[in-house]
Structure 1
Amino acid sequence: MPAVVNDVRSFKAERAWGARDLAEVDGATVRLHWTDQPYKWHVNDGAEVFVVLDGTVDMRYREAGVETSVRLEASDIFVADIGDEHVAHPLGEARVLVVERKGSV
């Protein structure tokens, strides 16, 4: 049965990076996350698609040991490939749609 998610801007989890599972597509999970705190530096074992739906997020990543940052606003997308070290730092509250391999970090 189809589903409509119409509470994105009001969604709030009990803890930073808490999520609502929306779907599983061919071994990938689609989750709506809420946060007001940075995540942790990590490397995924598969590609990760990170879509800011509400708020602002500074996405930091390292290339050849050099840290770079890009500011993501609502509707911006960050794609991390296998081996891309990255961390998300929200500026205030943010709601983010994340698509990644099921069970990934």
Structure 2
Amino acid sequence: MEVIRSKEFTASKAWGAKDIASMNGITTRLHWTDKPYKWHVNDGEEVFAVMDGVVEMLYKENNEIKSAILNTGDIFFASIGTEHVAHPQGQARILVVERAGSV
């Protein structure tokens, strides 16, 4: 049993993570970042929940770049094949649920 205070979590580098669980090939990780990630496509679905902070999520839909501002408590679901990149606005803590080993 463990209680995780997501707002207190930090990492030594952007996108550093705390592994929370691995269940049937699906990982749950808490990330801390203050820098954008990179454009990528996961090899499966991804659930991206902002635990603290604000994140601009850029994603491509029909070859057009779209944007959504995610505040604390907001969730972004990337279906298979969704190209996307997260741009935190300052520090952010994000819970990511995805297939183990995904980008």
Equivalent residue for 2:86? Answer: 88
CA distance in 1, matches of 2:4, 2:34: 21
Structure 1 gaps of 5+ residues are none
Distance 1:41 1:13 in 2: 21
Letter in structure 1 aligned against 2:77: V
Q: Return the match for 1:76 from 68, 74, 77.
A: 74
Query: How far apart are residue 39 of structure 1 and its match?
Result: 0.2
CA deviations on 1:11-49 (whole Å, 9 max, x unpaired) are 110110000000012101000000000000000000000
TM-score (norm 1): 0.96
Q: How many residues in Structure 1 have an aligned counterpart in Structure 2?
A: 103
Instruction: Identify the match of residue 99 of structure 1 among 93, 97, 100.
Output: 97
RMSD: 0.6
Runs of 4+ in 1 over 3 A off after TM superposition: none
Please give the alpha-carbon distance, in whole angstroms, between the structure 1 residues aligned to 2:15 and 2:79: 20
SS at the partner of 1:9?
Answer: helix
State the identity as a percent.
59
Unaligned runs of 5+ in 2: none
The AA in structure 2 aligned to 1:63 is E
**Which of these residues, 1, 7, 22, is aligned with residue 24 of structure 1?**
22
The alpha carbon displacement at 1:57 in A equals: 0.1
